[in-house]
Structure 1
Amino acid sequence: MAPKLERFVSPGKGNGLRATTRIQCGELVLSAEPLACCVSNKLARDVCHHCFTRCKTLLRCSQCKMARYCNIICQKQAWACHKRECKCLQRLLPRIPTDSVRLAARLIFALLSPPTDHSEELYTLEEHESHLSSMSEQKKQGLSQLASMLELYLKQETPYLVQEMPPSCREPLSLIAKVTCNCFTISDEELQEIGVGLYPSLSLLNHDCRPNCVMVFEGPKLKLRAVRDINPEEELTISYIETLSLTEDRQKQLEDQYHFTCHCQQCDTRDKDGLMVLGEEAAWHQLKEALPRLEGLKAESNWQALLKSCSHLLSTVGSNVPDENLYKLRMTDMALDASIYQGHWEEAMRYGEKTLPVYRQYFPDPHPVHGLQLMRIGKLKHHLEYIEDALDLFKQSYQIIKLTHGHDHSLTTDLLMKMDECRSEMDQHSSSTH
């Protein structure tokens, strides 16, 4: 484990991680492989189950018909993890267990064949909280159904496994609860969810709605980077949720999912709430009410209907609701997505431009979401041949991405290439006009 951090008891929060030395903004604090991970069911056909790369064509496991790999090498490397799972999947076909059940099973298999390198973990699975005592009956019932599914899934494999299992895994309900409270969503470089994983030592990181660290994934490998300068003995924090929402909504999500009340500075001062609900209340309420229906259209990839609804609603509220309003921002972002999928580039660029000043206000620290938005709008500008504007946006994006993702990340390299393309196009243009 890196000497940059140590475990400590965080006042009011239980266990935590703090810096042992000064850490600079953009510095890689830690990188970790998961103890267990799996690709999300909804992307099982699109993502390699070993390296988590998206591929157009994947090789399918001939036995379980579910696991898919980008090539023979990945398939061979995955076999040690997959062989037990493969038998379980075959017996359950055509049913596929949920992501959390598959992750819990993979966790059990991983603990039965411990890695040869005994790297120093700061936190073991035994110490993870299940939070069962503080859960509502309804939530416990949902988890009990998952625990029954886990037992059914492991049926053939478990008679002789139980004796070998660590005590922490012998009780399916407790294990499922630990997994759902402590797992991380693994995302691709566009920050889209592609899987789930358990990284025991990183479960020590406590939440803050304005954290001093961010997590970025390279395949299933997790990289933790500082987004502010951190002093020795200062606690390291990450955000467990998407922070761009009102304080009461963030707090409700944290209580429901992670069973604690957040008392970070942003929650205690509610300093962004006023900005998020700027404008005429009756007008922005219309947008808020429409969002669930629009999310549905987005999930169905019904881009035409989505774009029509968004542009109608946005023109209806007009200037009564400013761009900073949270619900207007969400709708503008959806209109941007829908315009891109429909190939309406000019329209997409107009929506995108409206979001950038707002993102700057909501993400004062380097944040992957802000960096990616700048890159996205830069690509639209480039495509539409606004080369100088594109270069400017790529530069701004690069200033963020090099800190949140690091200099060696493929996204950072991609940005450098985009900037070079813009410069050479500008050179060609100026030499042809002289």
Structure 2
Amino acid sequence: MRETETAAERINCTANTMAGILEKFQSLGKGNGVRALKDMSHGLTVIRAVPYVYTVCRKKSACDYCLHRKEKLLRCSQCKVARYCNAHCQREAWQSHKRECKCLRSTLPNVPTDSVRLVGKIIFKMLQNPDATSEELYTISDLQSHIKEASEEVQDGLRHLATALQLYLKEEIQDISQLPPGFQAIEYFGKVTCNSFTISDGEMQDVGVGLYPSMSLLNHSCDPNCVIVFEGTCLLLRTVKEIPKGEELTISYIDVKMPTQGRRDQLQRQYSFTCDCHRCLIRDKDEDMLAGDADTSREVERSVSRLEELLSQNKAEEALNLCKTLMNRYYLPDKNIHQLKVLDCAMDACINLGLWEEALQFGLQTLEPYSLYYSNYHPVRAVQLMKVGKLQNYQGLFTEATKTLMQAFDIMKVTHGRDHNQTQQLAELLNDCEANMRGM
């Protein structure tokens, strides 16, 4: 079968794209699901979906409109919170931003959480066009909140968010009569918790959060037949396995690079179900993920959150020193997931500090574990290979870089598609690398 779609098969990022391709059905033991109405080869873009609403992650340096990451962004002159690439992005965003702008101004110097901003945008959109529906199989009102199945702790958290929303909206919504008919804040925070998608950039870095209602019909598997990647705010559902007519389409809701019990706990906590996929039943790769001494593994695990915090604060040198301390003090095999996280943090810290040789050495150590945990076609593995290939190319290791980048390209043309910006950047890098190799 063919590996990737033709131009004629590619579906535009518009509404009403599911007719004749997918259908909603009752999936055994899972409630609603989506299944294929025709045979699909791997490497196809099944759906390109625009968000019902979305917001930038507040701790990320990204444009509120296009979600492009930049160090220097223009702040909204009124609320001082929203930031944009340029005047064009600001103008394009104004129609959806103008009501939240007043709300943001009223809360300064405090900035609301991402979920509060997102639910606020839902309210403003429902008020602006209450009869609008851009989703063919599922609408915003169809989304499930799973509040009844949630723990008391989770429900208490949702109540706190509802209170925060009331304070946030006070400049625009003074009383309940101004809300959309039947709107219940706790219910919608539950919907956001269970149904929002983290929007990532080409390097798989989180930049935003969005709601794509029909995509919420997709059920979870720890070994899915589809993946989701993004182009700006546009969601692409891509097949990574051959899917025969009638088979259910699945994605992974979480990072699968964690042991079975960890995956199950996270899925239960956030989505209120226990995964019983084949991988969970056979506890696939659990032994590899926690390889080495158990006490040592727990010690390293306790330091990972500190490492991530240091990197988020741009304290790369301090993060690198902690990584080296952990690696010198404790021995764990590279395939141990906590050791692997330390290697990832060490590589990122070195890149930030311009220590290219050290960054490459740490990156090379991650490739075998990545191939173990992100087997077959996975966008995370493709991006990791691309990062290592860039480092090899930068240091003049053109033969090695070409091999690494080709591996990345073979994966990315399936997970992202040949026309995706990230794949095109990879192809250009590969061409440059091959030209440098010929010139040696």
Same fold (TM over 0.5): yes
Deviates more, 1:14-23 or 1:309-318: 309-318
Q: Is the 8 A contact 2:135 2:213 kept in 1?
A: no
1:326 aligned residue? 337
Alpha-carbon distance in structure 1 between the residues aligned to 2:132 and 2:46 = 21
Paired with 2:226 and 2:148, the residues of 1 have a C-alpha distance of: 30
**Cα shift at 1:263:** 0.8
Cα 1:34/1:162, change in 2 over 3 Å = farther
Per the alignment, residue 389 of structure 2 pairs with: 378
Q: What runs of 5+ residues in structure 1 fail to find an aligned partner?
A: 430-434
Report SS of the residue matched to 1:401.
helix
Q: Does 1:42 align with 2:55?
A: no
The 1:266–1:339 alpha-carbon spacing in structure 2 relative to 1, beyond 3 Å, is same
Cα offset, 1:80, TM superposition? 1.3
Q: Whole-Å Cα distance in 1 between the matches of residues 177 and 244 of structure 2? A: 45
Q: 2:284 matched to 1:271?
A: yes
Q: Does the Cα contact within 8 Å between 1:247 and 1:267 map onto a contact in 2? A: yes
Work out which of the residue numbers 167, 190, 198 in structure 2 matches 1:177: 190
| 2:352 alignment counterpart | 341
Q: Which residue is equivalent to 1:19?
A: 36
Inter-CA distance 96–305: structure 2 relative to 1 (3 Å threshold): closer
Call closer, same or farther: CA 1:308–1:94 in 2, change over 3 Å.
Answer: closer
Identify, as 1 or 2, the structure richer in helix: 1
8 Å CA contact 1:394–1:415 kept in 2: the answer is yes
User: Secondary structure at the residue paired with 2:238?
Assistant: strand
Which secondary structure does the structure 1 equivalent of 2:388 belong to?
A: helix
Contact 1:111 1:166 in 2 (8 A): no
Give distance in 1, aligned partners of 2:92 and 2:186: 31
Deviations 1:59-90 (A, max 9, x none): 32222121222222222221111111112222
- After superposition, the CA RMSD in angstroms is 1.9
SS at match of 2:51: coil
Contact 1:121 1:200 in 2 (8 A): no
SS of 2:253 mapped into structure 1 = coil
**CA 1:147–1:161: 2 relative to 1, 3 Å:** closer
Q: Which of 407, 413, 418 is the equivalent residue of 2:424? A: 413
Bigger drift between 243-252 and 147-156 goes to 147-156
Which residue of structure 2 lines up, in the alignment, with residue 286 of structure 1? 299
Deviation of the 1:116 alpha carbon: 9.5
Deviation at 1:172, TM superposition (A): 1.2
Which amino acid in structure 2 is aligned with residue 335 of structure 1?
A: A
Deviation at 1:404, TM superposition (A): 1.0
1:259 aligns with 2:276: no
Cα deviation, residue 316, structure 1: 3.7
Q: Which of 325, 330, 347 is the equivalent residue of 1:312?
A: 325
- Distance of 1:234 and 1:158 partners within structure 2: 45
Unaligned runs of 5+ in 2: 1-16
* CA shift in 2, pair 1:86/1:317, >3 Å: closer
Secondary structure at the aligned position of 2:66 is classed as coil
The answer to whether the 8 A contact 1:131-1:177 is kept is: yes
Distance in 2 between residues matched to 1:203 and 1:427, nearest whole Å? 48
Q: Return the TM-score normalized by structure 1.
A: 0.93
Identical pairs, percent: 45
Aligned match of 1:432? none
Of 423, 428, 431, which residue of structure 1 is paired with 2:439? Answer: 428
